[in-house]
Amino acid sequence: MIGSIRGKLLGFEVLTALIETSDGLGYEVEVPVSYLTELEVGAECFLYIHQVVREDAQLLYGFHTKEERLLFREVIKLNGIGPRIGMALLSVFALKDFITVIKEERVNSLVAVPGVGKKTAERIIVEMRDRIDKLHLEANVVNSAPAAPAAAQKVDLERSAAFNCEDAIGALVSLGFKENQAMTTVRAVYQPEMSTEQIIVAALQQLNKR
């Protein structure tokens, strides 16, 4: 099983990062939305990996810290929660914010995540509250936070605004939002010269307020 990857970030395809290792192999790794402005295209990066092996595919999910990967692994153990919802949760919430949501039993905050209904949100809170305590995740969050890069990389600056918005809508739909909702939100948050990644992050922030 693949446990981590270090290599050069070649670029993004919606929410999938393409990382080329020193042996010349390129790995497609799905990452949370928040990483789109944290990872620098053309620079070396390191991610902890959770690998899912299926009959028709081998999928890789990447995280900055072991704690994020551990939380993801615990979430997808819950009945009815798969990797898609797990990644959506970590895209909407930073690790410390997710822990706060669980501790304070904020059902409405979880319901805002694509694919999470009220009953599912309540079950996540009940089951994850004990797991967070047993795994001592809260105590490790502060020390595990990665350093921010010196400067955020704007990806594909020369692409037109139309392509940037189209890619952002596709990313939101892949997270589970309805296409009309994604389109409306992207149009509302878009500002001239915003990159695809900036549009996605701004749209998620707007959607999370509803």
In CATH terms, 66-142 corresponds, of 1.10.3720.10, 1.10.150.20, 3.90.1010.10, 3.30.43.10, to: 1.10.150.20
In CATH terms, 161-209 corresponds, of 1.10.8.10, 1.10.287.3510, 3.10.129.10, 1.10.8.60, to: 1.10.8.10
pTM of the model: 0.69
**For 4-49, how does the pLDDT look when each residue is reduced to its tens digit (9 = 90+)?**
999 999 988 878 899 999 999 999 999 988 787 788 889 999 999 9
Answer whether CATH 3.40.47.40 is correct for domain 4-63: no
Cα-Cα-Cα-Cα dihedral of 23, 48, 124, 99, to 10°? -150
- Look at residue 112 and give its three-state secondary structure: coil
Give CATH 2.40.50.140 domain extents, the chain: 4-63
Specify the pLDDT at position 66. Answer: 92
Specify the pLDDT at position 156. Answer: 36
Q: How far apart are CA 156 and CA 42, in angstroms?
A: 12
Side chain identity, residue 161: A
**For 68-81, how does the pLDDT look when each residue is reduced to its tens digit (9 = 90+)?**
999 999 999 998 88
Cα-Cα-Cα-Cα dihedral of 154, 31, 2, 54, to 10°? -130
Give CATH 1.10.150.20 domain extents, the chain: 66-142
Q: How far apart are CA 116 and CA 122, in angstroms?
A: 10
- pLDDT-above-90 percentage for the chain: 32
Q: How far apart are CA 210 and CA 205, in angstroms?
A: 9
**For 146-197, how does the pLDDT look when each residue is reduced to its tens digit (9 = 90+)?**
444 433 333 333 335 666 777 888 888 888 888 878 888 888 888 877 878 7
- Check whether 83 has a pLDDT greater than 60: yes
Give CATH 1.10.8.10 domain extents, the chain: 161-209
HSE-CB for 185 with a 13 A CA cutoff:
25
Residue 121 CA to its chain's centroid (Å)? 18
Specify the pLDDT at position 33. Answer: 81
Residue 195 CA to its chain's centroid (Å)? 17
